[in-house]
Amino acid sequence: MRHRSLLILTTGVTVGALTLSACGSRDEGDKSGGDETTTVTIGLDAPLTGDLSALGLGIKNSADLAVKTANKNKEVKGVKFELTSLDDVAQASQGQTNATKLVGNKEVMGVVGPLNSDVGQSMQKVFADANLVQVSPANTNPALTQGEKWQDDQKARPFKTYFRTSTTDAIQGPYAAHYMFKEKKLKKVFVIDDKKTYGAGLAGTFAEEFKKLGGKVVGTEHINPEDKDFSAVATKVKAANADFVYAGMEYPAGAPLAAQIKKAGAKIPTVGGDALFSPEYVKLAKANAAGDIASSVGAPLETLDTAKKFMSGYKAEGYKEGYDAYGGYAYDSTWAIIQAVKAVVEKNDGKLPEGDDARKQITEAMQDIKFSGVTGEVGFDEFGDTTNKQLSLYEVKKKDGKLQHVPVKSGEFEGGQ
Amino acid sequence: MDAPPEPEVLGHDEPRLTDRWTALPDRTRRSVIITAGLLLLAGLTGYGLATRPATPVPTVPTESLMPYPLQSTELHYVEIDGPISGQKVFHVRLTAESSTGAALTHVTQGYDGLHLKAGPPLPIKLPPGQKVKFTVTFEVEQCAGVPLNASMAFLDVTLRNTRAIQVYSAILGDRYATDLSAALRALCEHPKRAASPGT
């Protein structure tokens, strides 16, 4: 009888305590269950296969990390983000097809990408017509944001839907020109480009500034980016007696070109832009990459505290491919879209507006987005260009027992007052 | 005499809970009270944990490291004074501001034939959040090799704070590049046209 009474009392108290506990879980469960969760899809376009896939996959993985972080942190209340990735194989026509496909998916509220400037150009109007915001982590051709007449002091923004987190070639090419002329004291250059929007544009800004400084362009050549045999060009470079080569192209052509120039007997450095700044460049050119120089957008990641968090997060996710040259910028591009969605949701009493209005409002919100990102303070100027205009030069040197790009100089565009 | 029969129990007339409780020995009652108290405490703790608002995972590092000097300092071009007729110098007015505090320890530009001197003398202290005006005086020692028409111009600046020393190029924008070229051309291409004081 005594034991029975004890059992009754204990059971009563236990049930009471568990009920209180259960109330807590059920409340939260009810809350989340009661709230509607909207799925917002962020589109991504980059070369995920082919020669430039090392850069493209670094962009994709980094965007994926941003989406996972936003969902984990419940960055936007009531919104779950998803990423849908399309492969443009570094071709403008495929990029345009992908843009149309992304516009057709009504859940897509912003697009990250692409890598190549010519692909970016082919997508801009498609997105503009649909009011769908696009943030490129890697396009560097100035015309994309400032119009074709940007060099004639007639800057005009072509599309309000286009933004980028990377610095433009308007700074990258001239900065390398000053470095080679002033610090390396090399006065004669052979300029080679691949005739593409990015390569020809970058080579143009470099050569123009180099000549203004008093340097001499002793030869120019154009190559086909799909070629791998550049022996004829290498022979011309050797005969021209140049001090160095400026290569306006991407690493799949740039690395074998640099190696073949050295093999032809011209032991001179090859200098190029951010599309040569990849571990793949060193893998392809091997020992012949030593001494070559690449400029790239942004400050070296090891000098950015926020980048360290990104790098450890990337490692923890176990992505097979490295984040490469544009990973940090892809993360920031994705995060900018997430923040624009957040601004619109908060403005509309916790809900995303219906239909096309959501895309329109997100594009408008992007203009005022500001946050501390992986690559520094992220924001956009009146052209849609990043306000974070840092860039760095890297030389291929032996470090930690292997050849790799080592930072040699950094700069920051401070603008006027 | 026989004892009266037990009344039939109709309905629920068993001993009440309080009757049973008072019938328990003191030791048992103490054990039950302690056990119940502990269970109630556990329950309330569980309730508190379950209803606590979720703490968002921070997106930036929580440690308060001093930022690298380049990340916390901005330089801005204001104007160029001069060149003054008869002299081979002009003055570049600038401002510097560091959000966390730093020192500007060195300013160069790298071209042969140009000599730079800062005022106030280096190092220039940049207190946190305070805009500091300073001047870099350019002296043209020889015109050969001086960039007369560069579309980009920058100063190589060394910054120091408690965390690091960094050398970087402060690219001061189109207006600085244009004004610098004009000043250099005035001295090297048309030395007689160099502005007189007050013009």
**pLDDT value of residue B109:** 86
Is 70 exceeded by the pLDDT of residue B39? no
Question: What pLDDT does B77 receive?
Answer: 96
Contact yes or no for A309 and B61 at CB 8 A: yes
Which carries the bigger pLDDT value, residue A154 or residue A63?
Answer: A63
Domain coordinates in residue numbering, chain A = 38-167+304-386, 170-297+392-412
Element (H, E) at B185: helix B174-188
Whether residue A8 lies within 8 A of chain B, CB to CB, comes out as yes
pLDDT band at B24 (very low <50, low <70, confident <90, very high): low
pLDDT of B66 = 83
- Candidates A23, A69, A175; nearest CB to B152: A175
Query: Cβ of B32 and A6 within 8 Å?
Result: yes
Res A15: pLDDT: 39
A255-299 residue pLDDT tens: 999 999 999 999 999 999 999 999 999 999 999 999 999 999 888
Asked whether residue A253 carries a pLDDT value surpassing 50, the answer given is: yes
The verdict on a CB contact (< 8 Å) between A21 and B172 is: no
Record: fold of B69-193: Immunoglobulin-like (2.60.40)
Contact (CB, 8 A) for A341 and A174? no
The topology (CATH level 3) of A38-167+304-386 is: Rossmann fold (3.40.50)
Is the per-residue pLDDT at B192 higher than 80?
no
CA-based nearest distance A165→chain B, Å: 17
More confident of the two residues A13 and A94: A94
Could you tell me which residues are beta bridge partners of residue A404? A397
Question: What is the Cα–Cα distance from A84 to B18, expressed in whole angstroms?
Answer: 67
User: Higher pLDDT residue, B82 or A76?
Assistant: A76
Q: Which residue of A has its CA nearest to B37?
A: A13
pLDDT at B38: 65
pLDDT at B63 over 80: no
List, as ranges, residues 172-231 from A with C-beta within 8 Å of B.
174-175, 177-178, 182-183, 208-209, 212-214
Q: Is the pLDDT of residue A27 over 60?
A: no
Residue B193 has pLDDT above 80, yes or no: no
| Min Cα–Cα distance to chain A from B1, Å | 32
ipTM: 0.73
Least confident span in A194-203, A389-398, B104-113 = B104-113
What is the distance of C-alpha A178 from the center of its chain? 25
Residue B196 has pLDDT above 50, yes or no: no
Question: Which residues in chain B touch residue A72, judged by CB atoms under 8 angstroms apart?
Answer: 57
Mutation site for B-interface testing, chosen from A75, A186, A206, A305 by largest number of B Cβ within 10 Å = A305
Tell me which amino acid residue B105 is.
T
Which residue bears the tokens 């990029």? A95
Does the structural domain A170-297+392-412 have CATH classification 3.40.50.2300?
A: yes
Do A327 and A370 contact (CB within 8 A), yes or no?
Answer: no
Element (H, E) at A397: strand A390-399
pLDDT at A416: 41
Helix axes A327-347, A356-366, angle to 10 degrees: 120
From the list B60, B95, B175, the residue facing A309 with the nearest CB is B60
Nearest to B145 among A171, A214, A417 (CB): A214
Yes or no, beta carbons of A5 and B169 under 8 Å apart: no
Indicate whether A406 pLDDT > 60. Answer: yes
* Inter-chain touch A20–B168, beta carbons under 8 Å: no
pLDDT for residue B26 is more than 60 = yes
pLDDT band for B9, please (50, 70, 90 cuts): very low
Quick one: pLDDT at residue A355? 80
**Res A116 pLDDT > 60:** yes
The span from the CA of A174 to the CA of B153, in Å, is: 9
Q: Is B136's pLDDT higher than 60?
A: yes
The average pLDDT across A383-398 equals: 92
**Percent of chain A at pLDDT above 70?**
91
Q: Which of residues 107-166 of B touch A (CB under 8 A)?
A: 110-111, 145, 147, 149-152, 154, 164, 166
The three-class DSSP label of residue A68 is helix
Among residues A181, A172, A98, which one has the least CA distance to residue A138?
A172
Q: What is the pLDDT of residue A78?
A: 95
Q: Do domains A38-167+304-386 and A170-297+392-412 have the same CATH topology?
A: yes
Amino acid of residue A316 = A
Please measure the distance between the N-terminal and C-terminal CA atoms of chain A and give it in whole angstroms. 89
Position A244 scores a pLDDT of: 98
Rg (CA), chain B: 41
Mean pLDDT for chain A? 89
Q: Smallest CA–CA separation between A182 and chain B, in Å?
A: 6
Per-residue confidence (pLDDT) for residue B51, from 0 to 100: 47
